[in-house]
Amino acid sequence: MYISLADRPHSGSGPDDAGPGPRPGPRSGSRPGRSVAFRVAPTVVALGMVSLLTDVSSESVAAVLPLYVTGALGLSMVAYGFLEGLHQGVSAVARIAAGYAADRTDRPKAIAVAGYGLSMLTRAGLLVVQGFVGIAVLVGIDRIGKGIRTAPRDAMIQEVSQPEHLARSFGVHRMLDTIGATIGPLLAFVVLLLVPEGYRVVFAVSLAAALVGVAALILFVPNVRFSRTTGTMTHTHTTTPAAPVPAAAESAPVVQARALRPRASRRPRWRTLDGPLKRLLVAAGLLGLLTVGDGFIYLAIMSHGHLDPLWFPLLFVGTNGVFLLLAIPVGRIADRTSRAAVLIGGHLFLAGAYVAAAMGGSWIALGLALVMLGIFYAATDGVLAALAGQLSPQGRTATGIGAAQTVVAVTRLLASTGFGALWVLFGAVPTMVGAAVVLVVVLPLAWWLVVRR
Partner 1 sequence: MKPVKPAHERAGRRSGLSRRARWWVLAGVAAVSLGAVGVYGVQALEDHQERTTGTSAAELALSLPEGPHVTFRNTASGEGYGMVASVALADPGGARQVSGQACDRVDVAGEYLSCLRTLRGVPTTFETQVYDSGQELGGSPVATWPLAGIPSRTRVSDDGLVATTAFVTGHSYAADSFSTETTVKGVDGLDGGPDGRDYGNLQDFGITVDGEPLTTIDRNVWGVTFAGGDRFFATVASGGTTWLMEGDLEARTMASVATDAECPSVSPDGNRVAFKVRRDSGGDLVGGSGVHWDVAVLDLASGERTVIELERGIDDQLEWLDEDTLLYGLPREDAGWDADVYSLEVEAGAEPELFIEHAWSPSVVR
116 binds partner 1 (CB under 8 A): no
Q: What are phi and psi of 172, to 5 degrees?
A: -60, -45
255 binds partner 1 (CB under 8 A): no
What is the three-class DSSP state of 73? coil
Q: Report, in Å, the least distance between residue 158 CB and partner 1.
A: 18
367 binds partner 1 (CB under 8 A): no
Nearest Cα to Cα of residue 422 among 305, 290, 301? 290
DSSP 8-state code for residue 38: P
191 binds partner 1 (CB under 8 A): yes
Out of 244, 321, 361, 434, the only residue in the binding site for partner 1 (CB under 8 A) is 244
141 binds partner 1 (CB under 8 A): no
From residue 307 to residue 336, the character string flagging contacts with partner 1 as x (rule: CB under 8 A) and all else as - is -xxx-xxx----------------------
Is 103:222 a contact under the CB 8 Å cutoff? no
Of the pair 198, 321, the CB lying nearest partner 1 is at 198
Q: Which of residues 25-44 bind partner 1 (CB under 8 A)?
A: 39-40, 42
What are the helix (H) ranges across 289-396?
294-303, 315-336, 339-359, 363-391
Q: Report, in Å, the least distance between residue 31 CB and partner 1.
A: 25
Is 372:352 a contact under the CB 8 Å cutoff? yes
Q: Report, in Å, the least distance between residue 35 CB and partner 1.
A: 18
Q: Which of residues 271-310 bind partner 1 (CB under 8 A)?
A: 293-296, 299, 308-310
Q: 404: which residues sit within 8 A by CB, 6+ positions away?
A: 277, 280, 281, 284, 384, 385, 387, 388
Q: 8: which residues sit within 8 A by CB, 6+ positions away?
A: 163, 166, 390
CA distance 390 to 275: 12
Q: Which of residues 383-412 bind partner 1 (CB under 8 A)?
A: none
256 binds partner 1 (CB under 8 A): no
Is 373:297 a contact under the CB 8 Å cutoff? yes
Nearest Cα to Cα of residue 243 among 21, 15, 16, 11? 21
Size of the site for partner 1 (CB under 8 A): 96
413 binds partner 1 (CB under 8 A): yes
* Binding range to partner 1, per CB under 8 A, among 15-23, 281-289, 327-335, 373-381: 15-23
Out of 242, 282, 348, 433, the only residue in the binding site for partner 1 (CB under 8 A) is 242
Is 154:226 a contact under the CB 8 Å cutoff? no
Q: Report, in Å, the least distance between residue 16 CB and partner 1.
A: 14
Report how far apart the first and last C-alpha atoms of the chain are (Å, whole number): 12
Out of 193, 233, 259, 264, the only residue in the binding site for partner 1 (CB under 8 A) is 193
133 binds partner 1 (CB under 8 A): yes
Q: Report, in Å, the least distance between residue 377 CB and partner 1.
A: 14
Q: Which of residues 45-84 bind partner 1 (CB under 8 A)?
A: 45-46, 49, 62-64, 66-67, 70-84
Q: Report, in Å, the least distance between residue 194 CB and partner 1.
A: 7
Q: Report, in Å, the least distance between residue 298 CB and partner 1.
A: 8
Furthest-apart CA atoms within the chain: distance in Å:
66
CA distance 76 to 368: 37
Q: Report, in Å, the least distance between residue 366 CB and partner 1.
A: 16
Burial class from Cβ neighbours inside 10 Å (0-12, 13-18, 19+) for residue 213 reads buried
Of the pair 21, 434, the CB lying nearest partner 1 is at 21
Nearest Cα to Cα of residue 166 among 423, 446, 418, 388? 388
Out of 207, 301, 372, 386, the only residue in the binding site for partner 1 (CB under 8 A) is 207
Q: Report, in Å, the least distance between residue 373 CB and partner 1.
A: 14
* Binding range to partner 1, per CB under 8 A, among 199-207, 373-381, 385-393, 435-443: 199-207
Give 204's Cβ-side CA count (13 Å radius). 7
Out of 176, 300, 371, 387, the only residue in the binding site for partner 1 (CB under 8 A) is 176
Q: Report, in Å, the least distance between residue 5 CB and partner 1.
A: 29
